[in-house]
Amino acid sequence: MRRMDREALLAFLKAHDHGVQASLHDDGRPQAAVVGLAVTDELELVFDTLGDTRKAANLRQDPRIALVVGWDHETVQLEGVADEPQGEELERVRAAYFRAFPEGGPERAGWPGITWFRVKVRWARYSDFRGAAPVIEVVDLSR
């Protein structure tokens, strides 16, 4: 059985380049979308979107976000807080995104209205359903 700690979580997330993000409209309706994800060594998830999308509006109104990464036997559920970094922080997270998506990522920087969101992960749960009994672990992110 694999022990899911912070380092194993980071490796799992870096091995996946897409996930589903979920946020809330200001009236409480849920919204979800598949996004391309990059992961920094600081366990930040980064995705781009156009500034006039529902997810962008939702996260500007309420920065709480949930994500699911992994589709088959292993998944990670994540909760965190999203922001739109500026200046040097934007350049740092965009560099991570461009490394994850070298074909197309840098070109998208020229799209009118494109923006990048960074998710600071606050909670994570790993699930592995391959064995006779599922392995489900909440990951300690306290350090």
Tens of pLDDT, residue by residue over 23-79, are 999 999 999 999 999 999 999 999 999 999 999 999 999 999 999 999 888 999 999
The pLDDT, as a whole number, for residue 143 is 62
pLDDT of residue 1: 44
pTM: 0.92
For 51-62, b where at least 16 C-beta lie within 10 A, e where not — what string? eeeebbebbbee
Amino acid at 31: Q
Confirm whether 108 is domain-assigned.
Answer: yes
Phi (first) and psi of residue 53, to 5 degrees: -80, 160
CB contact burial 90-125 (16+ within 10 A = b; e otherwise): eeebbebbbebbeeebeebeeeeeebbbbbebeebe
- For 109, the 3-state DSSP assignment is coil
Query: Range of 91's domain?
Result: 6-139
Whether 1 is in a domain gets the answer: no
User: Which whole number is the average pLDDT over 8-26?
Assistant: 96
- To which H or E segment does residue 116 belong? strand 114-128
pLDDT given for residue 132 in this prediction:
86
Instruction: CATH number of the domain at 67, please.
Output: 2.30.110.10
Average pLDDT, the chain: 93
Residue 46 tokens, joined: 């980064």
Q: Tell me the mean pLDDT in the region 122-134.
A: 90
Say whether pLDDT at 11 is over 90: yes
Domain contains 18: yes
For the segment 72-93, the average pLDDT, to the nearest whole number, is 96
What confidence tier does 17 reach under pLDDT thresholds 50, 70, 90? very high
Give the count of domains, the chain: 1
Residue 22 has pLDDT above 60, yes or no: yes
What would the mean pLDDT of 86-109 be, rounded to a whole number?
94
Whether 106 is covered by a domain: the verdict is yes
Residue 39 lies in a domain: yes
pLDDT at 111 over 90: yes
**Residue 70 within any structural domain of the chain:** yes
